[in-house]
Structure 1
Amino acid sequence: MKRPGRYGPGAAVAGVPLGLALFGPFLVGEPAIRAASFTLGPGHLLGTDFVGRDVLDQVLLGGRPVVLVALAATALAYLVAVPVGLISALTHRRWLEELLMRPLDVLLAVPSLLMLLLVAAAFPPGAAGLTLLVAFVSVPDAARIVRAAAAEAASRPAVEALRMQGETWWRLAVGYVGRSILRTLAADAGIRLTGVLYLVATAAFLGIGVAPDAADWAVMVDRNRTGLFVQPWAVVVPALLIVALTTGGNLLVDAATELRTTPGRGRRA
């Protein structure tokens, strides 16, 4: 029988930041008059930030950009990486595989942070540009994971039998090989989302694609770190929310893959 309780820890951990990202902006009232920076006092439950804004309001507003950019960038990276990996693994044309994978190997050799800085100028500022930028940086590694998993599945006798029967490339790639690598992709998705969140936060720290005073958890951590020992909530709360989001996401993926791989689980008795 199914064991939905296994999703409980991951859902509980990730539910808080996801809930704030989805519903937080609706809970923010009228903009308050700015107070002194890095203060704790009446009217400001979590104090004020580096420019005197209410930290609680910034926390409620700052989750949606981080979550939406991270999820969109992860999905976009797989949207490119999966076809590239499948084509590379299933093609019998060596030149096509070299054409697809060698440029990605070159990009993979460049540290992600350095690549982030190098290509930042080519993308427009704003959330859309940041999404494209992070997805572009994430594609090479994701494509290699897909290609490695697909190559193993493509070498099975069943694939050769389907080829001999004249099955179309689409049926081979999607109907058999694609389904065979779903567990690998699911396991990689949790790690990939963590890496994407790191890149989104790094871009925010560097001021790439995000305004320096934006209501964004990653920006809050960076801009308020100078007052950490005076008013720690402006840094600690958004940092904990980012950690909870990545940790909860990994727990959910671990639970899903465990249910699929453990005999007798994930099926009706």
Structure 2
Amino acid sequence: MSADREPAARSRRRARYGAGVALLGVPLLLALAGPWFVPDELTRGIPFAGGAGNPLGTDFVGRDVWHQVLLGGRSVVLIALAATALSYLAGIPVALAAATTRRRLVDEALMRPLDLLLAVPSLLLLILVAGIARAGTGIVIAAVALVNLPDLVRVVRAAALEVAGRPAVEALRLQGESRVYIAVRYVGRSLLRTLAADLGIRLTAALYLVASASFLGIGVAPDAADWAVMVDRNRAGLFLQPWGVVVPALLIVSLTVGLNLIFDNATDRRGR
């Protein structure tokens, strides 16, 4: 029976992977290569209007929606990637230190401040950070990384605790290996599959938060070429010219769903 199920399971995995590549590839291609196909001089027309020269119509200030779609993805994607990378660079050392320490006080000192951050709603924390610091792309990256940090540390620490309790770790300690060696070379390497599974969730959360920050006007100009800003600013003309809202919203959804499908397929195949 298991032999009969394997071809069907393999076919489902391939279909899921193909769907993920298609859903992720289109918005990613538009985000990275789109600005190269935009004319140097952009003209403006009547807001929320359509025409032969504007296949998707115009936005709230009369700009070509298609040109704004080509320009608006790079900021969302690059900020989300940078914020995710920053959260891992800051979170993994904290999680490994908390999991491998033999002092309860150290673990408490590392984890309790993160619990406080976890109690604050993510959007409220975004607004607070942006309100305290000077607005800009760097602030959005730092704020999104800070919002993602508590969940990331808790997931990695929980997985690392199981590895840190193995007899092999005690044997390494008795051999005189340093804490850094044990945390990085043994415990850290054992967490690669957990980190791969978490990466898809973390990138999706970062995309959501970056889009929310742009939607709220945090760190991004209110008339910037940005998919999330387009959704926000073109809402007023949704029934006059819907493409200015529908297209960027679908691209953000396609990006997140495709990303999760690819990472789910990769971790499932590694498990098998």
Q: TM-score normalized by structure 1?
A: 0.93
Distance 1:131 1:78 in 2: 13
| SS of equivalent residue, structure 1 residue 35 | coil
The answer to whether the 8 Å contact 1:73/1:196 transfers is yes
1:67-86 Cα offsets, whole Å, 9 max, x none, are 00001101101111100000
Q: CA deviation at 1:106?
A: 0.7
**Aligned with 2:95 (options 82, 85, 88):** 85
Q: Kindly provide the amino acid, as one letter, of the partner of residue 253 in structure 2.
A: V
**Letter matched to residue 181 of structure 2:** R
What residue number does 1:148 align with? 158
Q: Which moved more, 1:7-16 or 1:241-250?
A: 7-16
Give how far 1:177 is off: 1.0
Q: TM-score, normalised by structure 2?
A: 0.92
AA aligned to 1:196 is A
The alignment status of 1:15 with 2:3, answered yes or no, reads: no
Cα distance, 1:210 vs structure 2? 0.5
Counterpart of 2:248, as a letter, is P
What is the alpha-carbon root mean square deviation over aligned residues? 1.5
How far does the alpha carbon of each residue in 1:81-113 deviate from its partner, in whole angstroms, 9 at most, with x for none?
100000000001222111111100011011111
From 182, 187, 205, give the equivalent of 1:195. 205
Is 2:238 aligned against 1:259? Answer: no
**1:182-236 Cα shifts (integer Å, max 9, x gaps):** 1111111111111111111111111110100000001001111111111111011
In structure 1, the residue matched to 2:237 is: 227
Q: 2:220 aligns with which of 210, 227, 235?
A: 210
* Aligned-pair identity (%): 65
Matched residues in 2 for 1:169 and 1:259: separation? 32
Aligned residues: 260
Deviating runs (4+, > 6 A) in structure 1?
A: none
1:32 to 39, 42, 45: 42
Deviations 1:151-194 (A, max 9, x none): 11111222222222222222211111111111111111111111
Cα 1:112/1:52, change in 2 over 3 Å = same
**In 2, Cα distance between equivalents of 1:62 and 1:143:** 31
- Which whole-Å CA distance do the structure 2 matches of 1:103 and 1:88 have between them? 13
| Residue 255 of structure 1, CA deviation | 1.4
- Rounded to whole Å, the distance in 2 between the matches of 1:33 and 1:66 is 24
- Opposite residue 229 of structure 2, the aligned amino acid is V
Segments of 5+ residues of structure 1 without an aligned counterpart are 263-269
User: What is the one-letter code of the residue matched to 2:82?
Assistant: A
- Give me the whole-angstrom Cα distance separating, in 2, the residues matched to 1:124 and 1:171: 39
Distance 2:102 2:256 in 1: 39
> Out of 55, 63, 81, which is 2:73 matched to?
63
> 1:142 Cα deviation (Å)?
0.9
User: Residue in 2 aligned with 1:266?
Assistant: none
Q: Do structure 1's residue 73 and structure 2's residue 93 form an aligned pair?
A: no
5+ unaligned residues in a row in structure 2: which ranges? 1-9
The match for 1:109 is 119
How far did residue 240 of structure 1 move? 0.7
